[in-house]
């Protein structure tokens, strides 16, 4: 089946992060598609596509950030609506993939929630997925349809080169699982790396034990995919400073910032938290002087264009 023409290329947004969707559409020089999404009195979600999408290459932008279940259900209904409206191809653009941290059976009698979400997205009718900085790379293997995995590294790299002295910067992985991410960014920036050795006792809590690497007299930049409660991050900051680091910053792609995370960050010695707009910040969180938000809209826009034109997405990282 031949791919559709450029005039059949359409972008739609759910309600989870319309600001990011607008930035992506503006970068591409095209409007967002017309779609009605509302809630009934009992909380059920109503979706109606309000323009013709027959034969169109449709991209649906919807991160499944908090409220995760609401945004996930909304995405599933949108995909189903496009399928029943005879879209040629449906790509779910999920800047943040909810349930990504439940990616394995680490205890008896627990679900693999991220695999279930993958099954639901495919059952709804998604032909392709586009993510950014998945918590665990093996999640890509949960899908039987093509998946493109973007990284926020190019966005962070631009900030690092223009705002930080890379000659006295050490990038820090908060755990062993994030070493590959940290090493890749550090290599491109020309920095050394260090690793936090930690043991997690309970969900959302982490005990940082020691620093593997030399940070004495250096600026440190903690690199992670998600900042949620901030517990792991702030314990890492404290340990790094106790080990002689001059100052501590962090860059985290997805700013969930649950509970009192922002207040804890404001009161901590963390100098700056650099995040992206994959997850929208409430006005209260956005007012925190320590938080700086970088947009990943151009990366998603270029990836969407390349997917539509059937060209390489990985070229964006070369």
112: number of CA atoms within 13 Å, CB side?
11
8 catalytic per annotation: no
Cα–Cα distance, 20 to 130 (Å, whole number): 14
Cα–Cα distance, 272 to 279 (Å, whole number): 18
User: Mean pLDDT in the chain?
Assistant: 94
pLDDT of 205 = 61
∠ Cα 33 116 230 (to 5°) = 80
Domains delineated in the chain: 6-151+297-317 (3.40.50.2020), 153-294 (3.40.50.2020)
pLDDT tens per residue across span 291-303: 999 999 999 999 9
Cα–Cα distance, 49 to 287 (Å, whole number): 35
pLDDT tens per residue across span 155-210: 999 999 999 999 999 999 998 889 999 999 999 999 999 999 876 556 666 565 78
Strands 35-39 and 45-49, how do they pair? antiparallel
Burial code (b: 16+ CB inside 10 Å, e: under 16) for 160-189 equals beeebeeeebbbbbbbeebeebbbbbbeeb
pLDDT of 5 = 46
Summarize the confidence of residues 108-130 as an average pLDDT. Answer: 98
> In this structure, what token pair is assigned to residue 55?
């034969």
Going from the C-alpha of 269 to that of each of 92, 101, 242, 272, 281, the distances in angstroms are 39, 27, 11, 9, 22
pLDDT tens per residue across span 78-112: 999 999 999 999 999 999 999 999 999 989 999 99
Going from the C-alpha of 243 to that of each of 147, 217, 222, 240, 247, the distances in angstroms are 41, 9, 14, 5, 11
Summarize the confidence of residues 16-22 as an average pLDDT. Answer: 98
Reported confidence tier of residue 7, pLDDT bands at 50, 70, 90 = low
* C-beta of residue 257 within 8 angstroms of C-beta of residue 276: no
On the question of pLDDT at 309 being above 50, the answer is yes
Reported confidence tier of residue 10, pLDDT bands at 50, 70, 90 = very high
Annotated catalytic residue, options 8, 10, 115, 198 = 198
Global model pTM greater than 0.85: yes
pLDDT of 176 = 86
Strands 205-212 and 192-202, how do they pair? antiparallel
Cα–Cα distance, 46 to 198 (Å, whole number): 45
Q: What percent of the chain has pLDDT over 70?
A: 94
């Amino acid at each position: 089946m031949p791919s559709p023409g450029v005039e059949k290329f359409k972008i739609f947004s759910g309600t989870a992060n319309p600001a990011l969707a607008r930035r992506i559409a503006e970068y591409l020089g095209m409007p967002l598609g017309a779609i009605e999404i509302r809630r009934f009195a009992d909380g059920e979600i109503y979706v109606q596509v309000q323009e013709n999408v027959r034969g169109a290459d449709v991209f649906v932008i919807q991160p499944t950030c908090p409220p995760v279940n609401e945004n996930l259900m909304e995405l599933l209904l949108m995909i189903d609506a496009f399928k029943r409206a005879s879209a040629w191809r449906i790509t779910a653009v999920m800047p943040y993939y909810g349930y990504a941290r439940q990616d394995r059976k680490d205890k008896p009698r627990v679900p693999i929630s991220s695999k279930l979400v993958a099954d639901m997205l495919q059952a709804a009718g998604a032909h392709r997925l586009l993510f950014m900085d998945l918590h665990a790379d093996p999640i890509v293997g949960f899908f039987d349809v093509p998946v493109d995995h973007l990284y926020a590294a190019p966005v962070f790299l631009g900030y690092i080169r223009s705002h930080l002295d890379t000659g006295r910067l050490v990038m820090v992985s908060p755990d062993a699982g994030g070493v590959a991410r940290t090493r890749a960014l550090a290599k491109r920036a020309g920095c050394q790396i260090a690793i936090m050795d930690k043991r997690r006792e309970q969900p959302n809590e982490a005990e940082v034990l020691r620093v593997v690497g030399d940070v004495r007299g250096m600026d440190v930049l903690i690199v992670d995919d998600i900042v949620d409660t901030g517990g792991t991050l702030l314990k890492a900051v404290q340990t790094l400073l106790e080990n002689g680091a001059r100052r501590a910053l962090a860059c985290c792609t997805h700013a969930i910032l649950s509970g009192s995370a922002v207040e804890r960050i404001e009161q901590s010695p963390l100098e700056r938290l650099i995040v992206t707009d994959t997850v929208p910040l409430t006005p209260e969180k956005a007012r925190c002087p320590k938080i700086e938000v970088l947009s990943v809209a151009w990366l998603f826009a270029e990836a969407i264009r390349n997917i539509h034109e059937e060209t390489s997405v990985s070229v964006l990282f070369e």
